[in-house]
Every structure is written in C-alpha cells, then in structure tokens.
C-alpha cells in the first residue's frame, strides 16, 4: 500500500491556506493547476510509496512509541518544485522551529530505513502542497500562478501554530485525486 507520514494542520491554518487557494484559483492564472482538496492539506514528513502490509504493521508499532517534539511553526513564503522556470508543484513553506522539524524528520527517516521502508530520498523541504501544474498549462500561466501565490503568501498573516497531530496515512490514488486514510494518528500535545 502507498503510505506517508505527515503533520496535520490546525483548523485556523487550514482556513488560511483555503483562503490562499481560493484566491489563487479565482485568478486568471488559476486554471493552470489542480488545487489540493482543502481537507487533505498537510505537511508531508516522509513519502514511502508502496509498502508491504507486514512492514506497515511494524512501522505503525514503531511510530506509536516515537517521541514527538513540540513544534511552533508559521506559514512562510510560497515556492515551487522543481524550479521557478518550470513549476510543477506549488507550495507554502514554513518558518519557526524548522531546524527542529528537519532534525525530527531525519530521525523518522532513519527509523523507517531500519524497518526496511523504502521512501523518497529527496532532501526534506518543509512545505504544504497547494496545487500541481496541469500538463497542458502554458509556461507563462504557471509562472503567473507562482507569482500570484507569492503575493498572496506575503500578504497573509503568519501566526505561530503547533501541529495538532502526527499521522501515518495510506494513500489511494483516484480520478478525483488521492484519498487518504489514517492508519495511526497521535496527538502532538
């Protein structure tokens, strides 16, 4: 099964992100991307892809006893992957105790590796994905959307928040986007 680890977001932060998404989607460049379902906004810590059921059970058991840090974060600037002149993923970064978050993510990755969980080894960049580029979208529209999200993010107040929960999700792709089911959820406080 496809799995990933994520921090869930407080309702107020999710509301802010939804307002950002609504503003970007309503702009003339908004049709260049598919926006994430607001109910599924989260901060991915580790994407594992396909994992055997037995490995998932062992991973879930290990995660149930993992020490959870207290993190104070804030929404940060907008960004894109893989690069500015060819955006495919549009996101909002984070500020605050990001160094502590990165250290914890490395610990989680080491734990997963020790259990035999194969995962995406890309460098961890703390962010919340807001949209993905449409294949047919022209480059100038994608660049305009990236610029619009930067404007929106810069104008959005960034109050500190603590993620409410840490979750191991199963992800099932579908025609309307992936559907996520919590396999393990732990309160962060």
- pLDDT 10s per residue in the chain (189 long)? 999 999 999 999 999 999 999 999 999 999 999 999 988 999 999 999 899 999 999 999 999 999 999 999 999 999 999 998 899 999 999 999 999 999 999 999 999 999 999 998 889 999 999 999 999 999 999 999 999 999 999 999 989 999 999 999 999 888 777 889 999 999 997
| pLDDT for the residue 85 | 87
Q: What is the CATH number of domain 2-64+71-187?
A: 3.90.1140.10
| pLDDT for the residue 176 | 73
**Cβ 168 vs Cβ 5: under 8 Å:** yes
DSSP strand pairing (86-96 vs 127-133): antiparallel
Tell me the two tokens of residue 79: 């960004």
- The residue extents of the domains of the chain are 2-64+71-187
**136/127 Cα distance (integer angstroms):** 25
Residue 176 CB partners (closer than 8 Å, separation 6+): none
Nearest to 171, CA basis, from 15, 59, 17, 6? 6
């Amino acid at each position: 099964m496809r799995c990933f680890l994520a921090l869930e977001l407080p309702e107020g932060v999710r509301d802010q992100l939804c307002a950002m998404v609504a503003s970007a989607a309503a702009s003339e460049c908004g049709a260049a991307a598919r926006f994430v379902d607001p109910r599924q906004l989260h901060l991915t810590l580790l994407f594992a892809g396909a994992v055997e059921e037995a490995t998932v059970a062992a991973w879930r058991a290990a995660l149930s006893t993992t020490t959870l840090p207290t993190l104070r974060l804030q929404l940060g600037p907008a960004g894109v992957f893989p690069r500015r002149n060819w955006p495919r993923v549009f996101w909002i970064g984070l500020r605050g105790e990001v160094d502590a978050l990165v250290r914890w993510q490395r610990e989680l990755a080491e734990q997963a590796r020790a259990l035999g969980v194969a995962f995406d080894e890309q460098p961890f960049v703390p962010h919340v994905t807001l949209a993905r580029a449409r294949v047919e979208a022209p480059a100038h529209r994608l660049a305009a959307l990236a610029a619009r999200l930067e404007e929106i993010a810069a104008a959005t107040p960034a109050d500190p928040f603590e993620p409410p929960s840490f979750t191991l999700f199963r992800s099932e792709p579908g025609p309307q986007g992936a559907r996520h089911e919590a396999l393990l959820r732990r309160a962060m406080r």
